[in-house]
Amino acid sequence: MRFPRSPWLLWLSLAALPLLAWAGYDLGVDDRRWSDQYDHHFRKYAKHYFGVGFDWRWFKAQAIAESGLRPGAKSARGAIGLMQIMPPTYGDILKDNPTFGDISEPRWNIAAGIYYDRLLYKRWSFTPKNHERMAFTFASYNAGYNRLRKDLRQALKETGDGDWTRVAPYTPTETQHYVSRIFDLMRGGE
C-alpha cells in the first residue's frame, strides 16, 4: 500500500479505513451496532432448548441474518418477526408449546425459532462436529429439512463427503449466503 505524502491526506485515508471496512463486512454479533434489547430472550430459550453451556449468540446471529433484529419484519413469502417464522410452522410449533403467545411478539418469535432450531439440530445428529451440525441446522431452517437431505445425498454421491463445505455448493445460493453470514457474525465479521 502506498501512503499519501501529505499528513492531512494520510490522516483522511486512515480515518476512512474503518468506514470502508464497516461498509463491506458484517460486524460481529456482539458489535454495538446490534441492539442487546432481546438478548435475555435469546439467552433464556437457548438455555431451555440447548442447555446451559450452549452459546446463545448463535441464535442472535441467526435473527440478525433473518431480520436485522427487526421485530416487525415480514418477508414477501409471509415469514414474520425477528426469526422469520412462517405462520404454518408456528402453528406446528404451538402444538408442542401451547403456552406460546402471538407470533409477532419478540419473546414468542425467538422462543419458536430456537425451539425449531432444536428440532432441526436433533435431526442432524450424525455430524461429529458442533459447527457442522449448526451449519446443517441453519441451512435446513432456511431451505427446508427435506431439501437439505436431498442436497446431502447428492454431495455424498458425487464427492463421498458429507461435510458442510462439500454439501453447501449443492444448496441454494441464498442458503449458502445465509449460513455464511451467521458464521461471519459469530466470528466477529472476520
The domain locations on the chain are 27-186
Taking phi first (over 0 means left), then psi (-120 to 50 degrees means alpha), and beta for anything else, what does residue 97 get?
beta
Radius of gyration in angstroms for the set of CA atoms belonging to the chain, rounded to a whole number: 19
Q: Please tell me the pTM assigned to this model.
A: 0.83
Q: Are 70 and 61 in contact (CB under 8 A)?
A: no
Of the CATH numbers 3.30.950.10, 3.40.50.850, 1.10.760.10, 1.10.530.10, which one belongs to the domain with range 27-186? 1.10.530.10
- Residue-wise pLDDT tens digits, 140-166: 999 999 999 999 999 999 998 889 999
- Residue-wise pLDDT tens digits, 34-55: 889 999 999 999 999 999 999 9
Residue type, 170: Y
CA distances to 7, 76, 98, 118 from 45, rounded to whole Å, are: 52, 27, 16, 10
